Amino acid sequence: MKDRLIVCKDGFVFIDVTDIAGTLWGTEDLYAVNAEDETESLIEDKLELNYWLRKRTLKICMEGGHLPKKNQWWSNSEKITHEGYIYVRTKDIIK
């Protein structure tokens, strides 16, 4: 199974549906996505969809949403490593 997720630097996810884009047309908003420079363009009509399917330079994707943000308390707290375990100071996580 190929990896269908395109994760952008800002945490937004697109799902590659190039192989089934024709059947999804009309039910989902589809985008032409360039994974290298993280640009996207809404595909507005069937003619444009057929163009990108023939050209095969960009991936046809649908929106997946944003990934959850990382826990800030863990990244800002002091960590102590001992015998393979990581401990966090209690005063750093209780506010």
**pLDDT tens, residue by residue, 5-45:** 888 888 889 999 999 988 989 898 999 998 888 889 999 99
Q: What is the pLDDT of residue 67?
A: 81
What rounded mean pLDDT belongs to the chain? 84
Q: Is the pLDDT score of 1 beyond 50?
A: no
| Per-residue pLDDT at 74 | 62
17: CB partners within 8 A, 6+ apart: 4, 24, 28, 30, 60, 61, 62
The pLDDT, as a whole number, for residue 71 is 59
Kindly report the pTM of this predicted structure.
0.68
